[in-house]
Amino acid sequence: MSTPADAVRAVLEESGPDYESFSYQELSGGTRADVYFVTLEYEGTVYEVVVKFAPESIERFAVEPFLHEFVAERTDLPVPGILVFEQEPERDIPAYFVTERVQGTNLGESFAALSIEERRHVMEQVGSVLGDLHSTIAFEGYGRLDLSRGRLVVSDLSTDWREYFAEMTSDHIDGLAGTIFADLQDVARDGLAARIESISRQGIPRLVHDDFRPGNLLFDTGTRSAITAVLDWEQPLAGDPLYNLAQVEFLFVDSVIRDPEECERMRKRLYDGYRRQREFDPDDEGYAACKPLYQFSTLIWRMAGFEALYVDSNELVRSRAEAYYRQQFDRLASTLTGG
């Protein structure tokens, strides 16, 4: 299709909803796919859906719509309902799925503007949502998720989480090549080697949303649960749940909040919400030992995608962001190597 409007129109004509007119808005937020918020009008009634097209870089696109239903059936997570999924469309468009439009505001765009009390409430709900995700769904081994004969499976199954995590993080480090952070690759490898023994080899592999960040949550502080939708299930993983918790702690607390005292208050609220759903001791020495490396891996993965994340930003914004990434990198690398 030559334009987004043509692609959206093809989806609407193929999937069959009645409409007289439509408008659309491209949604941003860091996803690698083309996502559109579509408003349709029919006989004076307006209704809304979200259309997501498969990007060329993702081979397992069918996993995401499958997970929406899989997670909704087994947890209380707020996940948008799938209305249509077409792996092989009849029209000349990529594979796509259509979801219901969930009300709520993107947390990544609004978190800084919330009041302190609203932030704390949201953070506790984030912890509860994550704890719920880690409480009920388990797998036979570690690795990326795929579909086989209509079943969710671990495609590159490993029985050794430490080994799998080391390979995954090494891939993140390799991804820094050719970026503005290429000069940090050797230090990153030293940090990984220095603390890899802190990562457990065995455990119960849980469902990990490997891009669980503010930009992939919708929220409404006027509701009791606050979080109205968990989005973007492009990169699901069977992994250590503490890896996912450390990621979230980094992306929602340590990399966002500058005030040390408020940082600790928000961390406590995150832990409180998480412990409502599953057993967890934040003072456990094992978590304290592995958390810096889990967060280091997450940071490096984010740094490798810096260009895509800041492609539309001006030079001042990019320079400030680069400096802040380097500051976080130095802090975590020093923690890992004792430097």
pLDDT per position as a tens digit, 252-292: 999 989 899 999 999 999 999 999 999 999 999 999 999 99
- pLDDT at 206 (0 to 100): 98
212 within some domain: yes
Number of domains comprising the chain = 2
CATH number of the domain that residue 19 is part of: 3.30.200.20
| Residue 308, φ and ψ in degrees, nearest 5 | -65, -35
User: Residue 87 sits in which domain range?
Assistant: 4-100
204 and 85 both lie in a single domain: no
- pLDDT mean over 39-62: 90
**Cα(153)–Cα(174) distance, integer angstroms:** 27
105 within some domain: no
- pLDDT at 29 (0 to 100): 57
106 within some domain: no
Q: Which pTM value belongs to this model?
A: 0.93
Tens of pLDDT, residue by residue over 83-116, are 999 999 999 999 999 999 998 999 998 988 899 9
142 and 203 both lie in a single domain: yes
86 and 126 both lie in a single domain: no
Instruction: Answer whether residue 32 shows pLDDT above 80.
Output: no
Average pLDDT, the chain: 93
164 and 36 both lie in a single domain: no
Instruction: Answer whether residue 339 shows pLDDT above 90.
Output: no
- pLDDT mean over 300-324: 94
C-alpha distances (whole Å) from 246 to each of 22, 72, 210, 243 are: 42, 24, 11, 5
**Cα(77)–Cα(62) distance, integer angstroms:** 20
242 and 278 both lie in a single domain: yes
224 and 121 both lie in a single domain: yes
118 and 96 both lie in a single domain: no
Instruction: Answer whether residue 30 shows pLDDT above 70.
Output: no
Identify the three-state secondary structure at position 138. strand
What's the DSSP call for residue 81?
A: P
272 and 187 both lie in a single domain: yes
39 and 138 both lie in a single domain: no
272 and 324 both lie in a single domain: yes
253 and 298 both lie in a single domain: yes
C-alpha distances (whole Å) from 286 to each of 72, 120, 159, 281, 283 are: 31, 26, 20, 10, 9
The closest alpha carbon to 322, from 336, 337, 302, belongs to 302
